[in-house]
Amino acid sequence: MEEVEESKEDLLNDQWVEEHFEDLIQQYPRKWIVVMDQKVVTSGGIRYFVERKAKQMAEDKEYSIYFIPPTSTRTDVTYESH
């Protein structure tokens, strides 16, 4: 399986999420969030709808999708870039 190299924007989003993780848990527990340009642009409980809205908002810009767990267990974070 070929590894996908993350873009600079993806890496910046990853870093931003890590730095703001505790706040994100407070604001978005058990939610999918979309981060674009190091800020949350949309969120919701169902990934399909969150991703659909992100695609509409982003147009050609890159964004990252994360699942925020209900607690601060960092290994629970799910990440995907687009």
45-66 confidence digits (pLDDT tens): 999 999 999 999 998 899 999 9
Q: Specify the pTM.
A: 0.80
On whether residue 56 sits in a domain, the answer given is: yes
Predicted confidence at residue 37, as pLDDT, reads 95
Q: Measure the CA–CA gap between 37 and 55, rounded to whole angstroms.
A: 14
Number of independent structural domains in the chain: 1
Distance of CA 46 to the CA centre of its chain: 13
3: in domain: no
Mean pLDDT, rounded, for 16-20:
97
Q: In this structure, is residue 23 part of a structural domain?
A: yes
Percent of the chain that is helix, strand, coil (3-state, to 5) = 40, 25, 35
Cβ within 8 Å of residue 28, ≥6 positions away: 40, 43, 68
**What letter does residue 75 receive in the DSSP assignment?**
G
Identify the DSSP state of 17.
Answer: H
Q: Tell me which residue range forms the domain holding 56.
A: 8-81
Cα–Cα distance for residue pair 82/64, rounded to 1 Å: 6
What is the pLDDT confidence band of residue 77, given thresholds at 50, 70 and 90?
low
